[in-house]
Structure 1
Amino acid sequence: MNVEVVKSKLHNVSVTEANLNYVGSITIDEDLMDAANIIENEKVQVVNNNNGERLETYVIKGERGSGVICLNGAAARKVAVGDVVIIITYCHMSLEEAKQFKPTFVFPDTATNALV
């Protein structure tokens, strides 16, 4: 039996941009991606603490060190610049693996999205 578990989480980052005129996705600072073990094109869940919206999309790399968190395309309608979001990834593994697995949780500075 396999189960789906949290793989990683960027907890309480601030939306820096919302770009409606883009194909889709979320742009994340590459430093934040590395810290949270998130790869380009990986599926993520985005939870908006300000309005309760939840959505799924995929990741594209943002400029390293920029602090960028940009919702693109239709997802841009679910956020406002300055909203605080949680970005979560999941993975599938056996029940036995899941019992031993430790997810990566990253808590950047919410004001700047800088790693602390």
Structure 2
Amino acid sequence: MAWITLVVAGIFEIGWAIGLKYSQGFTRPLPTTLTILSMIISMGLLGMAARTLPVGTAYAVWTGIGAIGTALLGIYLFEEPATTARLVCLVLIAAGIVGLKIVTPT
């Protein structure tokens, strides 16, 4: 259950990272509110997952999910570059997440 909680926390991390762009420096009320709400949910779920999982693993996986999702949405939503090198680096982050899942006892 901790791993599922951690994945959901990572999804909310993506939400707040993308929300930062839409809030335009916290000047737009609705995107700002949704961004802050995503931050609170994401951190709360990370804290719940860290009760069971090693904190280093939980944090690394959480940030990895956030980094991959935010980069991919940046490519899709904001036409950021999708270079081969960038995509390979995202695959390496994903491999690290999978590796941590495999070697972390639960």
Identify the TM-score tier after normalising by the shorter chain: under 0.3
Greater share of helix residues, 1 or 2? 2
- After TM superposition, the score normalised by the length of structure 1 is 0.26
Task: Kindly indicate whether structure 1 or structure 2 has the higher relative contact order, using CA contacts under 8 Å at least 6 residues apart.
Answer: 1
Higher-strand-fraction structure: 1
> TM-score, length-normalised on structure 2?
0.27
